[in-house]
């Protein structure tokens, strides 16, 4: 399988990449790690006339902490996330999530920015970003704007990114000390997308929930923030009934598409199960 013909561009700065997008217009597509786009191009689901490769733009790489915020360059790979001492110490949820993405070879190439900007509800970073209250830096020739993850995902392959804009950086507020988190993902095999998955962060005070964030993968046209489930937990003792009620509320917003991974009922039930598991594990990891 070979993609349709295209022209290849390898800019070395963000400014040059934006310049190419402005010049080439709708016929151009950005390529990050390429492990979603190239398979789509081989299957002719995507047929851009120009490919603008971000792989040689050093300013899009790296993980650092600045003023209580973790800043991750959009071209940082999954392998780099997994091996980051900063993330291991301060944002282990992202490390746990990245380890569950695809397989080792894909994780050397796949990037956090590509995973987010692709807009595929099967991708894992979108729900992780919702649970972590992340925001995204979108840069164009004219301006730079910062968009919260909650308003970035519009639909399947449809995001807040406008023509001529590049996602350059992911910003995550450093989770408060004592926060417990978990990404529970059900998949049929290594490399598969989630049948359903849940990302949860919890802050506990004694046995009561102080703060909760819950987001779901691959059970809707976008990643879903389960706000009613979050609200139901806040201020409550975390017992079996409270967890079951949160899972029920999470399931109530699921609208998955039936495919070879299961029918609507099964996927919805699995989203509930993943929510329960992620809440229990996050609670066990949280400081009281």
Partner 1 sequence: MAAKQTVSFKLNGKPVDVVVEPRELLIHTLRERLAHTGPHIGCETSHCGACTVDLDRMSVKSCTVLTVQCQGADIVTIEGMEQGGALHALQEAFSEQHGLQCGYCTPGMVTRAYRLLQEIPDPTEEQIRMGMSGNLCRCTGYQNIVKAVQAAALKLAAAREAPRKAAAPAPAREETPTPA
16 CB-near residues (< 8 Å, 6+ apart)? none
> From the CB of 49, what's the least distance to partner 1, in Å?
9
Shortest Cβ distance from residue 24 to partner 1 (Å)?
13
Residues that bind partner 1 (CB under 8 A): 1-8, 10, 34-35, 38-39, 42, 51, 53, 55, 79, 102-106, 108-109, 190-191
Residue whose CB is less far from partner 1, 48 or 220: 48
Q: Which is nearer to partner 1, 83 or 151 (CB)?
A: 83
Q: Which two tokens stand for residue 248?
A: 């029920």
Q: 40-56: buried (b, 16+ CB within 10 Å) or exposed (e) per residue? A: bbeeeebebebbbebbe
Q: What's the Cα-to-Cα distance from 156 to each of 87, 120, 121, 192, rounded to whole Å?
A: 29, 6, 6, 18
| Distance of closest approach, residue 193 Cβ to partner 1, in angstroms | 12
Rounded to a whole number of angstroms, the minimum distance from the CB of residue 81 to partner 1 is 14
Pick between residue 171 and residue 185 the one whose CB is nearest to partner 1: 185
* Distance (Å, whole) CA 172 – CA 129: 8
Shortest Cβ 36–partner 1 spacing (Å): 10
Residue 55 or residue 262: which is nearer to partner 1 going by CB?
55
Three state DSSP letters for 271-286? HHHHHHHHHHHHHHHC
Cα–Cα distance measured from residue 156 to residue 135, given in angstroms and rounded to the nearest whole number: 19
Nearer to partner 1, 53 or 150 (CB): 53
């Amino acid at each position: 399988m070979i993609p349709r013909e295209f022209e290849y561009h390898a800019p070395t700065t963000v400014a040059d990449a934006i310049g190419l997008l402005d010049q080439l217009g709708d016929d151009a597509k950005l390529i990050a790690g390429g492990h979603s786009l190239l398979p789509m191009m081989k299957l002719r689901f995507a047929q851009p006339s120009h490919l603008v490769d971000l792989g040689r733009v050093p300013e899009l790489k790296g993980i650092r902490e600045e003023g209580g915020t973790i800043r991750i360059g959009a071209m940082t790979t999954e392998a780099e996330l997994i091996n980051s001492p900063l993330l291991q110490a301060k944002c282990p949820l992202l490390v746990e999530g990245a380890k569950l993405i695809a397989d080792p070879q894909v994780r050397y190439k796949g990037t956090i920015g590509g995973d987010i900007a692709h807009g595929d509800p099967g991708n894992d970073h979108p729900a992780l970003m919702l649970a972590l209250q992340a925001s995204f830096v979108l840069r164009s020739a004219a301006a730079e704007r910062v968009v919260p993850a909650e308003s970035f995902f519009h639909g399947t392959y449809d995001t807040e990114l406008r023509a001529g804009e590049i996602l350059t950086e992911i910003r995550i507020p450093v989770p408060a000390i004592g926060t417990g988190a978990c990404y529970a993902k059900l998949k049929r095999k290594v490399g598969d997308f989630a049948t359903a998955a849940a990302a949860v962060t919890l802050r506990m005070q004694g046995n009561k929930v102080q703060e909760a964030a819950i987001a779901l993968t691959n059970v809707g046209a976008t990643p879903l923030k389960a706000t009613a489930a979050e609200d139901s937990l806040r201020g409550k003792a975390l017992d079996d009934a409270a967890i079951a009620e949160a899972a029920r509320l999470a399931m109530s917003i699921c609208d998955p598409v039936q495919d070879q991974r299961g029918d609507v009922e099964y996927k919805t039930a699995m989203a509930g199960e993943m929510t329960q598991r992620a809440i229990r594990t996050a609670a066990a990891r949280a400081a009281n």
